[in-house]
Amino acid sequence: MMSEHMPPSTYILRNLIAVEVPESVSWFPQTIGWKIIAVLLVALLIYAAYLGVKHWWHNRYRTEAIEQLKLINLESASSEQALFNVTKSVMVYLNPQHASLYGEPFLVCLDSYLLSKGQRLPNQTDSFRFTTEVGRTWMQSLVEPDCSLSPEERQLLATDLSYWVKSHQAACSTDVLESKEDLKQDSTASQRKGGQL
């Protein structure tokens, strides 16, 4: 027959010393080196957040312009003018000197914002250019009611302009416009000389 276990009496436990529970380890860095690293990480996160907000603030016009392009009814006869107004607003926002651009210089400036990066339009395989027959017809339709783009050309133009708003990077160089004008003047002068001969 097994004897029942009895707990020790108070007399036996009187000399026992309670074990102290160690303090919990703090998550806060204990050494100066880790504190410096923590401060640098916090500063880096704040700076990254600042850059993100700055990038969003400087590019918010892109979102607004794309939304305006989506609202344009491409079946309407005034869609060419609406596309021009939105694109011109973006260009003037980028550089107020673009307010006077129209026609061929306007198309050349559109190209210069993208050609400097070697980009291509999604619907063009050879080069990234608005100075095409579609672009020139677009400019002509703004002043001649009888001239207009086909529904397919309007859709193509709207798609390319949306991509342009999203992707343009470099500022329009006045050198590009000046070189274009110089080429025109040289061509005109050559034709005149040829006519005189």
**Cβ atoms within 10 A of the Cβ of 105, count?**
18
Taking 90 as the threshold, does the pLDDT of residue 53 lie above it? Answer: yes
Q: What is the pTM of this model?
A: 0.63
- pLDDT: which is higher, 82 or 187: 82
Weakest-pLDDT range from 18-27, 77-86, 124-133: 124-133
Any idea where the domains of the chain sit in the sequence?
64-174
- Give kind and range of the element (H or E) at residue 60: helix 60-71
pLDDT in tens, 96-128: 999 999 999 999 888 888 765 555 555 554 455
Whose tokens are 């979102």? That residue is: 63
Dihedral angle over CA of 119, 110, 88, 56, nearest 10: 30
Q: Of the ranges 4-8, 97-101, 130-134, which one carries the lowest mean pLDDT score?
A: 4-8
- Alpha helices (runs of H) in the chain, residue ranges in sequence order: 10-13, 32-58, 60-71, 79-94, 104-115, 133-141, 151-167, 174-196
Quote the percentage of the chain above a pLDDT of 70. 70
| CA distances in angstroms from 43 to 92, 138, 186, listed in the order given | 36, 50, 57
With tokens 């607003």, the residue in question is 89
